[in-house]
Structure 1
């Protein structure tokens, strides 16, 4: 039986996800201003991109670095923010410093690359760009203020030109593009756009000002951003609006995931990474009287005008969907472009809750990809990913670049709309595998994809939740992921690995099903575990159902001592206090098993000690207690109050056994003072033995903060906390 998670899964924050193609010289959008999109790295960069980037984060005591800030002109010296070993010209280190005044980050090497590309971009990566790499919604988001009407937009460094196509298709504007790269040729060919293959400068002829000048992910490539902003200021005159996006310099830090960090850094390509303060200052220095800069995660969005800015608002979802639908309906559209547009619409429909529309569109995509690649997306269990170590162009010839997202959002539909946890687990598991497989192939040619990274993280989260819901033993995989390396296995970022267990516990707790949450609490020794192999085996064997070993031990215990031992193991599990349903279920199983074994006094004693009358609301427990009452022997044994076994225990296990023996004696429930004293002695003895984790775990499980009012206990707990 499936036990669905209560959480409704959605898009994993993809608005700010970006991809970096060092092979193409791309970040977020191939061939933005100053980018090479013909499939070749500029000659000066070819050698240095052949090896993985080595990030070194200097501390505050590092030697200051001289250099004029290209944003505010502060001559320094400035703090070194990042060193990328061997990533600079001639194999030198690429140094990024942080301005002491405006906090923007900039490279000490200010030599920009030459981005005039050939006429035809590299086909596999062009297809990948259209299917997945182009962050279409993030490109269009800054144009949320734009409304239909007879207006004109200049797009600088637009490459393929999706924003220009959007304003023309949906808003009825006229757009003009300037971009020197080969990708501009494809925008002309596929979208019919008016793009001049050149840079926009202060000398470019201007017949009349544009209503909007837009540059997405461009200014970070410019050696001298001041003159570039002045050229944009000239383009819009007194009434127009400049809109631009650029990476947020504040996101250049060790806490950013690799899929985002590599594109943001982009040594040799990204020369200036603005702070919000620095970008505001630069726009005002360029002559704009009205400026607004917004931070959105790893991206900055800026708007500027000599006149009052229009009301700024998010992109209208209905406009975005209309654009996608119109373009999808274009006759004879290129298959890769059609695949990318359909995928983006599919994602939008899933997030909007249009489940019927999303399922219909998925069926159309699956049919097209079956014909194009020979893959069956309707049967994720049989989906075979490209072999490990395959060259990236071969990979992209075997699978669509958006395969991770297609599978993940199909998993979301299975989970949320169809209430089919098993299908959701299959789709999500394959999505996590596909994300790792694709990123591994792309890394070999210097490409990193932040959105695929985010999708793979969301897919792993959904897989663990859904798989637990159908009875899969997810504890080994969760433990393996939790302790794995972000550069190995499924390539999941370290920060996500640390958060994953809490995410899964939160979701499974919402189900209120004891067996499900227990699977998220179990910690397995990760040393011999291979996360990729565990996931692969589970999918290959059809997600086999496995009983919960802890509960199985209770149900099959051969005697009362074994019942007590199995219950103790559950009771001492870290986090069990956060799983009352699991603990209550274990107690029910223990009571029933003790009665079945004839240990009537033990069953009655435990029931009294627990002081949980809700247990008797369960019919099976009530019947068991009735049997015990009928067979009860006359008289009770009063506990002796002997704490010697606890105080003299040689190890943590001895403390637990002594405590358990004292606690489960008949009549113990009638002496709460005895129980509390035993608990105090146990906590102190565990700390004296160095079993700090055991002491803290028991203190948490008992949920009796009054214990800490005892001075010796408080001292013991403080020692345990400092030693943790």
Structure 2
């Protein structure tokens, strides 16, 4: 079980901040175990000057096998995970689109990893794209994506000296380097006068008690990240390096920075950006084998996006192709919950999971269930059973590989909700009620591993509403009214107005149903005062709790 240990602010150390360069007394904020076993805890100190978070511990390179994090015998599994689900390709390319695609322009990606932004630029901009990546990861990407990747660090390479680029991106790199200022100065030397630098890095402001555990652990990456910038610290650093124009955007756990020598004109056509991304995924589907990690990963991403957009008829054949490729490669039907759960039940390590199933399996089953719920049946099982399977798969992933299961962590409670909703539609009222109440109450003490799963307040409110509706449909209106009354009392805000209105409508139905269940003689006596005269209008409704 991966845990974060929070401190009360009483422990301090004299340190120099990598972000702002100021030396002083820093407060120990949080600690957690190193990503490499037997390397102890990593401590995180908050700078009082700029609010960035500095790490203290032994540092390893995520992608270098001789660092001991993955080991040469299992590095392939980490890379396959990245290709199948770990790489946020949409997140990588969206900032490039926001800064503006330069038709037939040039892109430099510093610390490009596998090279997805390079491949995307070649496809969309039809221009030159080159990356710098010293690890074996870059070597694999250059071959499988057919992109140019120089296997060197920025400070060591000589091939690009004197060249200028229209766009330079460095995604999730600056938090690893021991001298961020020198790193940015090196990048600026390659920027065209009209060009834009794009940086992404974890957000120090996201790290706080009560936040989503799996996301915070990924942001901290104990033993990998040396510094988490605050927004203000990154802005100050860009100014120090000499960029006259810059902007830093906060996107929950990440910061996205843009810097240039001239004013930046942002492109905000989300429909166009999304269309380009889907077009790119389709191109990769046509070029790749569905049983390879790259081919499987781009198919899963496109399938997910099509389901999320409600383009179910387009998603169905792609989902069937993914299911068929899993049967071919791994020997089980992912649309059969019994087969699927048997296939992964003993997979408690990354290599064991990689040998048994694709890493996107929990999420694929969830989206297959969504497709089934909307009338495009995949396999022979109903939506409720597929959602139940997805929840079990997501829970298993959190139990054994939380660092590699962030997306599954976001879908666990959603899977429980969707199963409950599907059970309600199918007439299984009591089972639906139990599932919705589970969401409302949260995980049991013996389910600590589920603390890494996101359970947003909006989902809790909606589950509570469905609990009341389940009891209403089960013919227990008084119980339903009790649930709905409490829900309405706690949702009188602008953000929850829709939930409030739906609860109010359901409560009125429950009140009417409760009234109809009373014998006529009791109704008559309730509507007559002690003096024998008719009671005031609304007396019965007020008695029922309106």
TM-score normalised to the size of structure 2?
0.84
Q: Distance in 1 between matches of 2:62 and 2:246?
A: 31
1:536 counterpart residue number? none
Equivalent residue in structure 2 for 1:602, among 522, 526, 537 = 522
**C-alpha spacing 1:586/1:355, structure 2 compared with 1 (3 Å):** closer
Equivalent residue in structure 2 for 1:129, among 63, 75, 82 = 82
Equivalent residue in structure 1 for 2:7, among 58, 62, 71 = 58
Cα deviations by residue, 1:550-599 (Å, 9 ceiling, x for unpaired)? 36xxxxxxxxxxxxxxx5x665556367445555555555555554xxxx
Equivalent residue in structure 2 for 1:517, among 465, 468, 475 = 468
Q: Distance in 2 between matches of 1:116 and 1:211?
A: 30
1:142 counterpart residue number? 95
1:461 matches 2:417: yes
Q: Distance in 2 between matches of 1:162 and 1:673?
A: 66
- Using the TM superposition, give the Cα deviation of residue 143 of structure 1 relative to its aligned residue in structure 2, in angstroms: 0.8
Q: Is the 8 A contact 1:486 1:492 kept in 2?
A: no
Cα deviations by residue, 1:484-517 (Å, 9 ceiling, x for unpaired)? 24871772547617664312245x4xxxxxxx73
Cα deviations by residue, 1:303-350 (Å, 9 ceiling, x for unpaired)? 111223243435711211111111111165762211100111112222
Q: Is the 8 A contact 1:68 1:74 kept in 2?
A: yes
2:235 counterpart residue number? 280
Equivalent residue in structure 1 for 2:485, among 575, 587, 590 = 575
Pairing of 1:637-656 with structure 2 (within 5 A) = 638=530
Equivalent residue in structure 2 for 1:179, among 121, 133, 136 = 133
**C-alpha spacing 1:440/1:170, structure 2 compared with 1 (3 Å):** same
Pairing of 1:23-172 with structure 2 (within 5 A) = 52-60=1-9, 62-84=10-32, 93-109=41-57, 113=61, 116-117=64-65, 122-144=75-97, 145-147=99-101, 149-172=103-126
1:436 matches 2:385: no
Equivalent residue in structure 1 for 2:323, among 353, 357, 366 = 366
SS at match of 2:386: helix
Pairing of 1:327-406 with structure 2 (within 5 A) = 327-330=284-287, 335-380=292-337, 383-385=340-342, 386-388=344-346, 390-406=348-364
**C-alpha spacing 1:289/1:267, structure 2 compared with 1 (3 Å):** same
2:194 counterpart residue number? 239
Pick the structure with more strand per residue.
2
Q: Distance in 1 between matches of 2:47 and 2:62?
A: 26
Q: Distance in 2 between matches of 1:605 and 1:585?
A: 22
1:293 matches 2:238: no
Q: Is the 8 A contact 2:234 2:248 kept in 1?
A: yes
**C-alpha spacing 1:152/1:217, structure 2 compared with 1 (3 Å):** same
1:479 matches 2:405: no
Unaligned runs of 5+ in 2: 67-71, 489-502
**C-alpha spacing 1:674/1:478, structure 2 compared with 1 (3 Å):** closer
- Using the TM superposition, give the Cα deviation of residue 296 of structure 1 relative to its aligned residue in structure 2, in angstroms: 0.9
Q: Distance in 2 between matches of 1:193 and 1:494?
A: 36
1:23 counterpart residue number? none
Pairing of 1:525-544 with structure 2 (within 5 A) = none
**C-alpha spacing 1:671/1:65, structure 2 compared with 1 (3 Å):** same
Q: Is the 8 A contact 1:104 1:273 kept in 2?
A: yes
- Using the TM superposition, give the Cα deviation of residue 232 of structure 1 relative to its aligned residue in structure 2, in angstroms: 0.7
Unaligned runs of 5+ in 1: 1-51, 509-515, 522-546, 552-566, 610-636, 640-666, 680-697, 704-724
1:269 matches 2:112: no
**C-alpha spacing 1:352/1:670, structure 2 compared with 1 (3 Å):** closer
Q: Is the 8 A contact 2:469 2:506 kept in 1?
A: yes
TM-score normalised to the size of structure 1?
0.64
2:162 counterpart residue number? 207
Q: Distance in 1 between matches of 2:445 and 2:240?
A: 42
2:281 counterpart residue number? 324
Q: Is the 8 A contact 2:207 2:216 kept in 1?
A: yes
Q: Distance in 1 between matches of 2:181 and 2:193?
A: 18
Q: Distance in 2 between matches of 1:571 and 1:214?
A: 55
Q: Distance in 2 between matches of 1:466 and 1:114?
A: 41
Q: Distance in 2 between matches of 1:105 and 1:282?
A: 15
RMSD, aligned CA: 3.5
Structure ID, larger Rg: 1
Equivalent residue in structure 1 for 2:426, among 470, 474, 485 = 470
- Using the TM superposition, give the Cα deviation of residue 129 of structure 1 relative to its aligned residue in structure 2, in angstroms: 1.6
**C-alpha spacing 1:108/1:376, structure 2 compared with 1 (3 Å):** closer
- Using the TM superposition, give the Cα deviation of residue 193 of structure 1 relative to its aligned residue in structure 2, in angstroms: 1.8
* Greater relative contact order (CA < 8 Å, ≥ 6 in sequence): 1
Q: Distance in 2 between matches of 1:366 and 1:675?
A: 57
**C-alpha spacing 1:520/1:303, structure 2 compared with 1 (3 Å):** farther
Q: Which stretch shows the higher mean deviation, 73-82 or 238-247?
A: 73-82
- Using the TM superposition, give the Cα deviation of residue 281 of structure 1 relative to its aligned residue in structure 2, in angstroms: 1.0
- Using the TM superposition, give the Cα deviation of residue 279 of structure 1 relative to its aligned residue in structure 2, in angstroms: 0.9
Q: Is the 8 A contact 1:350 1:358 kept in 2?
A: yes
Q: Is the 8 A contact 1:504 1:520 kept in 2?
A: no
1:451 matches 2:451: no
SS at match of 2:415: helix
**C-alpha spacing 1:88/1:336, structure 2 compared with 1 (3 Å):** closer
Q: Is the 8 A contact 2:244 2:262 kept in 1?
A: yes
SS at match of 2:297: helix
Q: Distance in 2 between matches of 1:182 and 1:484?
A: 40
Q: Is the 8 A contact 1:110 1:223 kept in 2?
A: no
SS at match of 2:118: helix
- Using the TM superposition, give the Cα deviation of residue 96 of structure 1 relative to its aligned residue in structure 2, in angstroms: 1.5
Q: Is the 8 A contact 1:668 1:675 kept in 2?
A: no
